[in-house]
Amino acid sequence: MEQGVNARENLEKVRAAIAAAEKEAARENGSVRLVAVSKTKTAEEIRPVIDAGQRVFGENRVQEAQSKWPGLKAETAGIELHLIGPLQSNKTADAVALFDVIQTVDREKIAREIAREIKKQDKRPGLYVQVNTGSEPQKAGIEPDEAAAFIAMCRDELGLKITGLMCIPPVDENPGPHFALLAKIARENDIDTLSMGMSDDFQTAIAFGATEVRVGSAIFGAR
């Protein structure tokens, strides 16, 4: 582990900051779930955070997650693993097999592959749609104005249970309007779970209604 990084202590600080942000936003204590983002970190670095009671984790690459999480899941009951990075169609079967939640459903081809694998493997991963709130050409996610039609297609045509939305605001912009847009799309489409906010902006995201925040470096140190 990186010198001087005390993930356990950092985890406590992040939990306290989440609780303070909930209070500040007049939201119920415990209404925001923490997804600890463990990408690039080894099993040895992740284990103390599991030992400190954290059970929900996010990884952004299927292959990397496959190398660490089957072992960690076997050690501790109740681990919930989220895929938060873009999904390639040739990795869909592996993703459905390993992840409890896929946060990055963002195009028809992937949605169809997921639907096929869910049937084949008899699995029920939670599914969120990623929305490209900043319409950035290089970024994954469905365009905001196409989100409603895409969610309806996933639900009505493919029978997928879409329960959440996820976004990653542009790095150089005030994230507030992006979080507000995601919350609006969720309301309009009967979606409860809002995955938004990272180490630098999770308090803002909580003020805008985040129900899940994805926090990596504030817990595990810089990557």
Q: Under the rule (CB under 6 A), what is the footprint of ligand PLP?
A: 37, 39, 60, 84-85, 168, 198-200, 214-218
H/E run at residue 108: helix 108-121
Tokens coding 5: 């990084």
Nearer to ligand PLP (CB atom), residue 7 or residue 168: 168
Tokens coding 220: 């595990």
Amino acid (one-letter) located at 12:
E
| CB of residue 157 to ligand PLP, shortest distance in Å | 27
| CB of residue 27 to ligand PLP, shortest distance in Å | 20
Strands (DSSP E) found in 31-124: 33-37, 56-59, 80-83, 101-105
Nearer to ligand PLP (CB atom), residue 82 or residue 207: 82
| CB of residue 37 to ligand PLP, shortest distance in Å | 4
Please check whether residue 58 is in contact with residue 84, taking contact to mean a CB–CB distance below 8 angstroms: yes
Residues in a beta bridge with 193: 164
| CB of residue 40 to ligand PLP, shortest distance in Å | 9
Q: How many residues make up the chain in this entry?
A: 223
Q: What is the three-class DSSP state of 101?
A: strand
Please check whether residue 14 is in contact with residue 34, taking contact to mean a CB–CB distance below 8 angstroms: yes
Question: Residue with CB nearest ligand PLP?
Answer: 216
Nearer to ligand PLP (CB atom), residue 169 or residue 209: 169
Nearer to ligand PLP (CB atom), residue 86 or residue 158: 86
Nearer to ligand PLP (CB atom), residue 11 or residue 149: 11
Nearest to 218 by CA among 196, 198, 194, 197: 198
Instruction: Decide the pairing of beta strands 80-83 and 101-105.
Output: parallel
Nearer to ligand PLP (CB atom), residue 125 or residue 216: 216
| CB of residue 131 to ligand PLP, shortest distance in Å | 12
| CB of residue 202 to ligand PLP, shortest distance in Å | 8
